[in-house]
Amino acid sequence: MDPYSVQREAQVLYSTYISSFARRSINVKTEIRREVYNKLQPAFEELFDRVEEHVLDILLEPWTQLNQRDKESFQQVPVHEEQRYFFNTEYRELLRLCKESKEHQRRISKQQQQRSMNLPISIEPFPLKRSRNAGLWSKVAAVFRGYRLLTLLRQPQEIGHFMTSLKENDASIHLSCWLDLERYKVISKTDKSFRQEKSTMIVKKYLNEDYFFGPGSPATEKQQKDILVKAGGEEKLQSETLSNRVAIAIQEIIRPYLEETWMPVFLSSKEFVERHKVKEKEKIKSDDRAAQLNRIKARKASQMSTSRDILLFRRALLNPSTCKQFQDYVSVKGELLENDVRFWVEVQRYKDLCHSHSSMVIIQHKISTIINCFINSSIPPSVQINISHDQARRILERRRELGPYIFREAQIAVFSELLKLWPKFQVLSRNLSKAKLIPLLQEKRAKHRAKIRKQRRLEEEESERKLQLLQEEREKQESCVSSEKDERDSNNESEQKDVSKMPRRSHSSFSIQRTMSLQLDSQIFQRPQSSLMIHAEPLLWSYSKYMEDQQKEGEDVLSLLENSASTDSDSSILSVNSKEGSQVPSIASTRRFTKMNRRVKTCPNPGPRRSIPAI
């Protein structure tokens, strides 16, 4: 909204109708005039509320007189009773007879005119009325007995079904001929080539001995001769273009034949009746839907507030006591409605600040306070009033551009929501006195708040219970992991103690222990991958450390051999054991290497193993 355009429009209205020297003055009071003048800059939507109320009071009397005069004139209008009939079968038959009588009179007058001018009289007999086949039409439901060929032509789907029914009975040529003649009549006479082509096609296809002039023709012999006379003979019929007059005469012969012979069969078929039932149901549904929409529109129209209701509601919100009562009333109707009332009042105070010409620092501080409380609150939800997030984002992004009208759209949206509840509050306030109304509202508000607190407490307890269950499950998993780790450490310590108790090893005992260590390592590697991943320690293996361990083992073996060299009887055995020990690592070294190899299972290509030379 452009503040300049709004200001200019307000000044034009003031100078035209309200000022003391206005050329179209509405004679408002001086007090109202001064109030409007003081609030003219900036101009808000409630600027002319009191002026509007003054105008409504003035117009009320002539409006009442006009309504009274209309009532009196309506009572004086004479009432004429008129009896009308529906467009039923008898009325259709009467119209057809009237039309035929007019055609007959026209032909008689034409013949008399030709006699007076000594011209050859063309024989145009009155079409014989075919007697209806009472047996076939008796099977048709009374609702469909007024149907004619033109009735089906107005329904494209039904004429298609009628053509299908005729094809099943090898009688589709009658309807095809009638439709082709109908299309031929529409062709313009200026388009001679196309008209001649269409006429030739109709003559070859229908006006021959196989159909119209044959034994299975819908026309009698007399009617066939009359058609030839109208066409100017058989030679002209074959050579010249078919006239519209002849086409109409042929149609008037085919149409009664279809209506009397084949239409009763079609209208009495089960398929047609079922389709009509479906259409009737759809029509009833559409009528009900239309009636429901009309009722909704009427209800909305009855609920639409007048200008006076809007003015009274604004005045009530500006009254502190009424505003407090209404605030207590709407607090139980919705979660944010109470904040809507507060927001509307705060925006009105902001407008008063603008009209009082306060400093821009105070006005901007008021704007920031309103935004932080209701539109961008630090307490969830961030939008504390009934406006869309797009409106809230627009207020935050265009805060500098909107000027004094920054809260206009939000205030209108909030006002429209509160106005819906105003009529019910008025009914409640009229039925109860003020001494009873205030305690009742406060009691309802207290119950509503207690209900909300109970609901929130239940939600918090539920969330705490779920969190506690998660913690218990986590503790169980951690205890299982720690127990497995302790058990594994204890097994390793017991194995190391057993190994330390063995001072010397023979070749057989060493092979047995090596086999046991390999079996133990194979059991370790056969554990599930998940347990290995859970208890895995950080990767500490490297090739250099491995080589250092191998050298230390070699030095230990050498020192062991030197200490045992004093005994001559055991020297050979010790030398053999030392050779085997240099080539095959000990049980502890084998287990340590296996453990390292398990840790570095994912290391890329650590290189070939280097064997220690025998001593």
Rounded CA gap, 237 and 229, in Å?
10
Instruction: Identify the structural domains of the chain with CATH numbers, from first to last.
Output: 3-63 (1.10.167.10), 320-431 (1.10.167.10), 515-615 (no CATH)
How high is the pLDDT of residue 135? 65
The predicted structure's pLDDT at residue 603: 41
Distance of alpha carbon 330 from alpha carbon 374, whole angstroms = 17
Q: Give me the pLDDT at residue 343, please.
A: 94
CA distances from 172 to 139, 160, 210, 313, 459 (A): 22, 11, 14, 73, 75
Is 147:87 a contact under the CB 8 Å cutoff? no
Q: How many other CB atoms sit within 10 Å of the CB of residue 138? A: 11
Q: What is the pLDDT of residue 188?
A: 85
CA–CA separation, 116 and 227 (whole Å): 25
Mean pLDDT per segment of 10 residues, for the chain of length 615 residues? Answer: 81 89 88 89 85 88 89 75 66 80 80 57 39 64 79 82 86 87 86 87 86 85 86 82 87 87 85 83 80 70 66 88 90 88 92 85 90 89 90 86 82 90 89 85 85 84 87 84 76 64 46 47 44 42 65 73 55 42 44 45 44 41
Task: Report the alpha-carbon distance of residue 345 to residue 120 in Å, rounded.
Answer: 98
Question: What is the distance between the alpha carbons of residues 421 and 338, in angstroms, rounded to a whole number?
Answer: 12
Sequence-separated (6 or more) residues with CB below 8 Å from residue 115: 121
CA 345-349-355 angle, to 5 degrees, is 145
